[in-house]
Every structure is written in C-alpha cells, then in structure tokens.
Structure 1
C-alpha cells in the first residue's frame, strides 16, 4: 500500500516560495491576504509561527522539488490556520489551497484533522480549545462545504460584513464546539 500523497505538518520558513506560488495560482487568493513577493510570503509564515497561532501546511509529496519544503520532503500546497484566543480557549479557523489541488477533498480532510486536534484535550495530544469559529462569503459555497465536512455548524449570517472591490458581501458564520460530534470526514495524516 502506498503512502497518501497529501499530509499535514507545521509550516516552515522554507515554505515561502510555495506560499507565493499558491497566492499566484488564482486571483481569488487575494481574499487571503496580500502576498505578491517572496518577502511577503516570508512575513506571512512569520505571522503563522506566532505564539497565538498554528499554521499547518498541507503538503503534497508529488509536488516536491529539491530543497523545497525542508526536511521530510513534500511541498506546501495549502494551509489550515488557527488564531488562538487563550483566555477564551477558542480559535479563529481559516484555510486555503493552491488552485491546482482544489476540488479533490484535500482541504476538507485537512480542516477536519486540524479541527479535531484543536478541540482535543491537551492530555490527549490536542490543543485544548473549547470552540473554533470561521466565516466565509455567501458567494463562496466551496468554503462552506469544507466547514461542514470539518464538523462546523452554521450559526448565522453577518450582513454586509466584508467590503471587497467596492462591494459589500454577507458572511456566513460557523462554529464547532469540543462537545459537537466528530465528523466522519477522513483526516489527512500528520508528519513532522
């Protein structure tokens, strides 16, 4: 049996070229931030490695190029991130994927794995969070499908929350509690 082509690991400084490539893969990546240069990609990785954040790289072993992605091989093709608010034991959850890898269920499997770990007690190898939250534009149903596959429950709509290109957009909000059922979505495996 061969190893799965996608897996998860913490983001690394050596991922900067792959982050830049992912942002260049589709015009819709602009909603994830402004990354149009290698220094901006490095800045994003630095932010993801902050003390109150977890940046989890989705890597694809078939995308490996010599020297990219650091030890352990595999090149970053996407990311699942969590910004943690320690006093409240909650995290803001987000994800993105290089356009070439979309539509294969990779983000759903990655999001399920990260959400499951985030809500698992520390004694059981998790991060000990009690609640995860996320939001997406109403006109981005693919993001909603990922959220639901990762066990998030739709909690409401924030009307005209985002201003993008001069137009207001409604945002659907989701939450997942530690006490919510664990989704049946198969998880991507973890590596170091």
Structure 2
C-alpha cells in the first residue's frame, strides 16, 4: 500500500479534481487497498486507469454530476460526489471515499455534509440518497454523522469487483438526507479552489 505524509495543521476543504501528477498519485494511493480495489468498476493501478477515473470530473459542464477531492495540505485524500442528478425531482446519488492513510479524522462525514450543503444550496436539490454495503458499517456511521437517515436495506443492489476481479453483488443499507432535515452536528467541509 502506498503511504503519503499528511500535514496535521492544514484545514481540509473540497476542491475540483485535476489531472495533475499529484492528484493522479493520490488516486493510485487510494485505490491501492483491498477495500477500494474494486470500487471503480475496473482496477485503478496504473496512471492510465487513474486518468480514466478522474477524466469525467475534469469538465464539470460535461458531466451530469459533481465530484470534489477532499484536500488536506495540498493533497487529495478522498472523494465525495453526487451523481445521477435528476433536476425534475431534485435528487442525486451520493458516494464518498477516503484514502486508508487519511481515515479516522472525520473527513468523510465532514466532506459528505459539505457536499450536501453544496447540492442543496448551489444545485437546488431537495433529496440526496446513498447506500453502503452491509459488510461496511463504518460507511453507515459516516452517513449518519453527515445528517443522513437510514431508510432500509436493498438486496443485491450494488456490484463491485472482488480481489480477483470477479463481479460480486452486495446488499446495501440505504440512507437519505432532505434539504429541510436538521443540520448535522459537525462542521461541513467547504468548497474552495
């Protein structure tokens, strides 16, 4: 697993992804872990694969969604995104990840809360949905801390690659946050440049 040194004093914030060498290295470091390896639909272990992963997020006007790098001291240490944006129904699907070396700092919850604020106030959305594999309860704790409410379990909802590159189906626990739900008890990360 690739490790990066993280500065402790610099505040984290959300920013657009780039195809810079630094961001590509951060993407490779994030996907170089057992739990992240199959999350992208293809292994992300080469520069070319990292560039394919980030390419939809380089032109926000051409992508039906938003994605932000979680930046800590100039390093991308995670991602938060809203996809499947439906303007008519004012909904979107939220997902997030934090690199293994940056976990345990509350970044995923603060970033998800920040993304929610952006979606509600900048994009005019009303309902945000997300789900996590039932074998990953930590992701559920992130959702709750970010102000999302559990709604139920869906069987066989998501398909990811296992450690051998084979597709596997997972049951998921679903959550949602509405624009008029109470704000979470944390300071959301803000979108910056």
Question: TM-score, normalized by length of structure 1?
Answer: 0.82
| 1:48-95: CA deviation from partner (whole Å, max 9, x where unpaired) | 34421111110110xxxxxxxxxxxx0111000111223322111000
Alpha carbons 1:19, 1:41 under 8 Å: kept: yes
Aligned residues: 173
The residue that corresponds to 1:135 in the other structure is 131
Q: 1:38-117 maps to which residues of 2 (within 5 A)?
A: 38-49=47-58, 50-61=62-73, 74-83=74-83, 84-117=85-118
User: 2:92, 2:38 → 1: CA distance?
Assistant: 20
Structure 2 unmatched ranges of 5 or more: 1-7
More helix by share: 1
Once residues 133 and 41 of structure 1 are traced to their aligned partners in structure 2, the CA distance between those partners, rounded to angstroms, is 26
Aligned pair in 2 of structure 1 residues 162, 190: CA closer, same or farther (>3 Å)? closer
CA contact (8 A) 1:32 1:96 kept: no
**Aligned-pair RMSD on alpha carbons?**
1.9
Distance verdict in 2 for CA 1:97–1:151, change over 3 Å: same
Q: Which moved more, 1:153-162 or 1:102-111?
A: 153-162
Query: Which piece of structure 1 moves more, 161-170 or 87-96?
Result: 161-170
Structure 2 distance, partners of 1:94, 1:88, is 19
Contact 2:56 2:63 (8 Å CA) reproduced: no
Q: What are the ranges of 5 or more consecutive residues in structure 1 without an aligned counterpart?
A: 62-73, 121-125
| Higher mean displacement: 164-173 or 33-42 | 164-173
Q: CA deviation at 1:4?
A: 3.6
Higher RCO (CA 8 Å, separation ≥ 6 residues): 2
